[in-house]
């Protein structure tokens, strides 16, 4: 073989290697020079459809980023997929995103049951996932509700149920002389994802959970639960309930003169709950709920978020009242974290570079949440803290950092 | 569950005073079940069809009022409009309520005429599936339009509660809503009793219940009366939906819950019996509350299923039912 032949052979190998590597880069699913394909799945139909504003909040933020020119020249191509909050439909939606739509990542997915059902497929396919489902088993590791290392490609840029439940427990335990707590919860993964960490925390502080009673979805009356609580003489109640049932519990608590603080989980919109209870005496100084954001919804500090939601969502995607609710901001919160990962990953985007970039989020101020975002290779749940909403005796909304301690 | 029973037995003295409250609350919610069961029974009495989509029509009644209320309020502002004129005599909520009952009457009439009547002589399973399919379709449409948020029905009066009884310092309370529910159901039961037992219309319905073919042979326009009865049944169900909407937030899925309670009350009371439906509703309401507190809150949701199983096993015709061919 002469020198020329050697050179040609070397060049051919080099071209082949370059082609293969170039092809590999170009073949990263869901990525082109001008676009990033994102699968956004959630309950667009079905009985959990009230949670799809979480999906739309993220959509709004990505449309906003697109309007600003995208990330490194790439714009988000968001494909919506309906899970109906049902595991079988969720698996079908996830598979459609992975195999038909060939998305780069899947996001939002508010339903814990669906997240747990699609997790094996996502892990097998190495599909990045950033969700808002509460169940600590989804992304939790030691210290965030799990028992091992977090799944490599799955993360929360928001709190998971473990931290949300823990803060519910912390909040009630800052109330002086709290010794006995009652729990009212749905019998599903979501509710236990909140209440179990709360119970662990309460018991670790020497207090006792004297009642852990069920309230099923669709319940229209909480007489039995409230009368059970009354006979136990508790200092506080944690309600790991969705919005309609939380409203029912608050109404019954007022009717039967329970006179005990009730702390709601994140499955309800604070403002709507207050409105739907429709009785100031039943909520003022009684009802408190986890609050993810750095200030009140509707406050000047979050006005930028409201403007994005109003500008980038259609009339059909917004509530009938036109005013975005808590769940829209929750979706925005997720969207900001997801997009920040793309900004940090740079132009040479692969799934691995994306996850590495997400894992550089450290004390990241997203300008929306109560707690800052930190994700590490050992910890894939970004936020561990939140505030609490409540109403003072005059009915004014107050954000509390602990019992009786207003933020402003 | 065993722990809960032991706890109740240990603390019997503390638990006993809550019993009157459980009975009162059970009666109040039972009245709602009774109204739903009554509307299903009326439908069944005429056509011997159990409408498995009835729960969704009950839900639609609540949404109809929610949708119509702003229209009424808007039209009131237009003084020359017919609604404006009507609203000068009666409160807007009542106008919207009457309109929503009328809308549901029309829906019931049309559903029977278009979807049920053509297959009425077909297999029973077809009727059941048709009713379920209509229910699902109604729920799907409402969910598509209003499923994104939990909505609240406008209230015609503020929520208030009253102490109706006191035992050893422990009060028994009733809300204004509950008192109104009870009043409405009692009135509806009386009206139904009079209509179905004292009027020519009731005699015709009774004849149709016994034999539709025979009724047709003696000149009764069976299709027309069936349409009317479906309209009345849906309208009555809508009234239950409005009452439910006042007590709760609006939810497209409330129909399933409603159907099960109504069906259980109807089964317990006896298919076709008007007062059986009411008694059945009351018993289920009280049972749910008592079992929920004294055994486990898990019983609140399963009481209706247990009632259906036990009644069908032990006394299939229910408490006051008559032997009749059941078309499901």
For chain A, say whether B107 makes contact (Cβ under 8 Å).
no
Residue A58 lies in a domain: yes
B25/A223 Cβ within 8 A? yes
Looking at the fold, whether A252 and A401 belong to one and the same domain comes out as yes
CA closest to A56 among chain B residues? B148
What distance in Å separates the CA atoms of residue A127 and residue A147, rounded to the nearest whole number? 22
Write out chain A residues lying below 8 Å of B301, CB-based: 216, 218-219
Looking at the fold, whether A150 and A84 belong to one and the same domain comes out as yes
Distances A295 to A21, A104, A281, A301 between C-alpha atoms, Å: 48, 33, 24, 6
B152/A276 Cβ within 8 A? yes
Q: What percent of chain B has a predicted confidence (pLDDT) above 90? A: 40
> What is the model's pLDDT at position A25?
45
**Domain B2-150+175-314: CATH architecture, name and number where available:** Orthogonal Bundle (1.10)
**Segments in chain A below pLDDT 70:** 1-27
Contacts 24+ apart (CB under 8 A), A31-36: A31/A74, A31/A104, A31/A349, A32/A74, A33/A73, A33/A74, A34/A70, A34/A73, A34/A74, A34/A75, A35/A74, A35/A75, A35/A76, A35/A77, A36/A71, A36/A74, A36/A75, A36/A76, A36/A77, A36/A104, A36/A342, A36/A349
Write out chain A residues lying below 8 Å of B25, CB-based: 221, 223
Q: Read off the pLDDT band of B151 (50, 70, 90).
A: confident
User: Once rounded to an integer, what is the mean pLDDT over residues B253-265?
Assistant: 86
In this complex, the residue of B32, B152, B297 whose CB is nearest that of residue A225 is B297
Are A165 and A265 within 8 A, CB to CB? yes
Write out chain A residues lying below 8 Å of B161, CB-based: 254-255
Looking at the fold, whether A214 and A307 belong to one and the same domain comes out as no
- The alpha-carbon gap from B113 to the nearest alpha carbon of chain A, in Å, equals 29
- The alpha-carbon gap from A285 to the nearest alpha carbon of chain B, in Å, equals 19
Residues in CB range of A9: below 8 A, 6 or more apart: A1
* Domain boundaries defined on chain B: 2-150+175-314
The distance from CA A2 to its chain's CA centroid, rounded to whole angstroms, is: 64
Looking at the fold, whether A245 and A324 belong to one and the same domain comes out as no
- Render pLDDT for B286-328 as a digit per residue (tens, 0 to 9): 999 999 888 888 888 899 999 999 999 999 888 887 655 555 4
- Render pLDDT for B208-237 as a digit per residue (tens, 0 to 9): 888 888 888 888 999 999 999 999 999 999
Biggest CA-to-CA distance, chain A: 98
For chain B, say whether A221 makes contact (Cβ under 8 Å).
yes
Looking at the fold, whether A145 and A173 belong to one and the same domain comes out as no
B25/A221 Cβ within 8 A? yes
For chain B, say whether A336 makes contact (Cβ under 8 Å).
no
Write out chain B residues lying below 8 Å of A223, CB-based: 21-22, 25, 289, 292-293
Whole-complex ipTM: 0.76
- The alpha-carbon gap from B213 to the nearest alpha carbon of chain A, in Å, equals 42
A228/B297 Cβ within 8 A? yes
Count of structural domains within chain A: 2
A220/B29 Cβ within 8 A? yes
- The alpha-carbon gap from B19 to the nearest alpha carbon of chain A, in Å, equals 10
For chain B, say whether A15 makes contact (Cβ under 8 Å).
no
- The alpha-carbon gap from A299 to the nearest alpha carbon of chain B, in Å, equals 22
Looking at the fold, whether A140 and A207 belong to one and the same domain comes out as no
- Render pLDDT for B169-213 as a digit per residue (tens, 0 to 9): 778 899 898 899 899 989 998 998 899 889 998 888 888 888 888
> What is the model's pLDDT at position A87?
92
Query: Which residue(s) pair with A262 in the sheet?
Result: A237, A287
For chain A, say whether B247 makes contact (Cβ under 8 Å).
yes
- The alpha-carbon gap from B194 to the nearest alpha carbon of chain A, in Å, equals 31
A50/B151 Cβ within 8 A? no
Residue A14 lies in a domain: no
In the listed set A342, A358, A374, which residue is the last one of a domain according to the structure?
Answer: A358
Q: Read off the pLDDT band of B3 (50, 70, 90).
A: low
Cα end-to-end span (Å), chain A:
81
Q: How many CA atoms lie within 13 Å of A291's alpha carbon, on the beta-carbon side? A: 25
Structure tokens belonging to residue A404: 């009786």
Residue A50 lies in a domain: yes
CA closest to A229 among chain B residues? B293
> What is the model's pLDDT at position B160?
84
> What is the model's pLDDT at position A14?
46
Looking at the fold, whether A151 and A188 belong to one and the same domain comes out as no
Residue A280 lies in a domain: yes
- Domain residues for the domain of A110 are 35-159+299-358
Write out chain B residues lying below 8 Å of A227, CB-based: 18, 21-22, 293
CA closest to A185 among chain B residues? B297
Looking at the fold, whether A115 and A185 belong to one and the same domain comes out as no
A319/B247 Cβ within 8 A? no
Write out chain A residues lying below 8 Å of B300, CB-based: 216, 219, 221, 224
- The alpha-carbon gap from B206 to the nearest alpha carbon of chain A, in Å, equals 35
- Substitution target in A56, A186, A220 with the highest count of B β-carbons within 10 Å is A220
For chain B, say whether A275 makes contact (Cβ under 8 Å).
yes
Distances B186 to A110, A375, B34 between C-alpha atoms, Å: 44, 62, 10
Looking at the fold, whether A61 and A129 belong to one and the same domain comes out as yes
Question: Which residues 121-180 on chain B approach chain A with CB closer than 8 angstroms?
Answer: 140, 143-144, 146-152, 155, 158-159, 161, 171, 173, 175
> What is the model's pLDDT at position B247?
80
Write out chain A residues lying below 8 Å of B247, CB-based: 220-221
Residue A109 zone, left/alpha/beta (φ > 0; ψ -120 to 50; rest): left
> A6: burial class by Cβ within 10 Å (0-12, 13-18, 19+)?
exposed
Looking at the fold, whether A57 and A151 belong to one and the same domain comes out as yes
A271: number of Cβ within 10 Å: 17
Looking at the fold, whether A95 and A193 belong to one and the same domain comes out as no
For residue A116, the domain's CATH number is 3.40.50.2300
| Cα angle, residue A171 at apex, residues A166 and A177 outer, rounded to 5° | 120
Distances B252 to B138, B142, B160, B245 between C-alpha atoms, Å: 9, 6, 26, 11
Consecutive H or E run containing A123:
helix A112-125
A223/B150 Cβ within 8 A? no
Write out chain A residues lying below 8 Å of B32, CB-based: 220
CA closest to A255 among chain B residues? B161
For chain A, say whether B71 makes contact (Cβ under 8 Å).
no
In this complex, the residue of A53, A219, A275 whose CB is nearest that of residue B300 is A219
Looking at the fold, whether A269 and A206 belong to one and the same domain comes out as yes
- The alpha-carbon gap from A352 to the nearest alpha carbon of chain B, in Å, equals 35
Write out chain B residues lying below 8 Å of A218, CB-based: 251, 253-254, 256-257, 301
């Amino acid at each position: 073989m002469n020198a020329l032949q050697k050179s040609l052979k070397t060049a051919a190998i080099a071209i082949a290697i370059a082609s293969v590597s170039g092809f590999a880069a170009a073949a990263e699913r869901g990525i082109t020079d001008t676009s990033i394909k994102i699968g956004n799945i959630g309950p667009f139909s079905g009985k959990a459809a009230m949670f799809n504003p979480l999906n739309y909040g993220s959509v709004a933020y990505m449309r906003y980023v697109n309007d600003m020119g995208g990330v490194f020249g790439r714009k988000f191509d968001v494909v919506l997929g309906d899970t109906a909050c049902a595991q079988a439909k969720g698996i079908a939606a996830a598979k459609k995103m992975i195999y038909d739509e060939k998305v780069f990542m899947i996001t939002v997915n508010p339903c814990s049951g669906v997240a747990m059902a699609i997790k094996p497929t996502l892990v097998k396919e190495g599909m990045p996932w950033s969700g808002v489902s509460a169940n600590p088993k989804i992304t939790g590791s030691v210290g965030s509700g799990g028992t091992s290392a977090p799944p490599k490609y799955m993360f929360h840029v928001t709190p998971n149920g473990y931290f949300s439940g823990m803060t519910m427990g912390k909040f009630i335990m800052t109330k002086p002389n709290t010794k006995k707590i009652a729990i009212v919860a749905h019998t599903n993964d979501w509710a236990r994802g909140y209440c179990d960490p709360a119970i662990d925390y309460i018991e670790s502080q020497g207090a006792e959970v004297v009642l852990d009673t069920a309230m099923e979805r669709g319940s229209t009356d909480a007489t039995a639960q409230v009368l059970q609580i009354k006979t136990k003489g508790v200092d506080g109640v944690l309600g790991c309930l969705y919005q309609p049932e939380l409203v029912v519990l608050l109404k019954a608590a007022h009717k039967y003169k329970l006179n005990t603080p009730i702390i709601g989980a994140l499955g309800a919109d604070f403002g709507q709950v207050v409105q739907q209870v429709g009785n100031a005496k039943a909520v003022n100084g009684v009802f408190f709920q986890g609050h993810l954001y750095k200030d009140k919804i509707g406050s000047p500090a979050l006005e930028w978020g409201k403007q994005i939601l109003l500008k980038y969502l259609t009339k059909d995607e917004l509530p009938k009242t036109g005013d975005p609710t808590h769940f829209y901001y929750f979706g925005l919160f997720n969207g900001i974290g997801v997009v920040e990962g793309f900004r940090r990953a740079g132009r040479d985007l692969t799934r691995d570079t994306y996850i590495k970039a997400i894992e550089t989020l450290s004390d990241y101020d997203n300008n929306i949440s109560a707690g800052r975002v930190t994700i590490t290779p050992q910890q894939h749940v970004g936020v561990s803290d939140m505030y609490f909403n409540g109403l003072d005796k005059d009915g004014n909304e107050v954000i509390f950092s602990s019992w009786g301690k207003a933020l402003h | 569950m065993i722990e809960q029973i032991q706890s109740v037995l240990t603390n019997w003295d503390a638990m006993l005073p809550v019993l009157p409250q459980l009975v009162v609350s059970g009666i109040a919610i039972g009245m709602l079940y009774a109204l739903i069961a009554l509307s299903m029974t009326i439908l069944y009495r005429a056509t011997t069809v159990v409408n498995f989509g009835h729960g969704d029509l009950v839900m639609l009644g609540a949404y109809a009022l929610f949708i119509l209320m702003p229209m009424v309020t808007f039209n009131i502002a237009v003084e020359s409009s017919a609604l404006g004129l009507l609203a000068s005599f009666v409160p807007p909520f009542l106008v919207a309520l009457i309109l929503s009952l009328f809308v549901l009457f029309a829906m019931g009439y049309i559903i029977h005429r278009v979807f049920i009547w053509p297959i009425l002589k077909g297999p029973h399973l077809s009727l059941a599936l048709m009713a379920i399919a209509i229910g699902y379709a109604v729920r799907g449409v409402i969910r598509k339009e209003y499923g994104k948020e939990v909505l609240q029905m406008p209230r015609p009066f503020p929520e208030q509660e009253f102490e109706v009884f006191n035992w050893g310092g422990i009060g028994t309370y009733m809300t204004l809503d509950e008192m109104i529910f009870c009043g409405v159901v009692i009135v509806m039961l009386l009206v139904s009793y009079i209509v179905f037992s004292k009027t020519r219309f009731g005699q015709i319905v009774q004849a149709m219940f016994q034999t539709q073919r025979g009724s047709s042979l003696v000149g009764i326009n069976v299709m027309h009366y069936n349409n009317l009865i479906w309209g009345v049944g849906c309208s009555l169900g809508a009234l239950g939906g409005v009452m439910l909407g006042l007590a709760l937030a609006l939810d497209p899925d409330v129909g399933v819950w409603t159907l099960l309670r109504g069906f259980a009350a109807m089964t317990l009371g006896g298919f076709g019996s008007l007062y059986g439906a009411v008694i059945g509703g009351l018993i289920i309401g009280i049972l749910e509350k008592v079992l929920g507190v004294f055994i486990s809150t898990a019983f609140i949701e399963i009481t209706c299923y247990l009632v259906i199983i036990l009644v069908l096993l032990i006394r299939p015709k229910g408490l006051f039912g008559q032997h009749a061919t059941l078309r499901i």
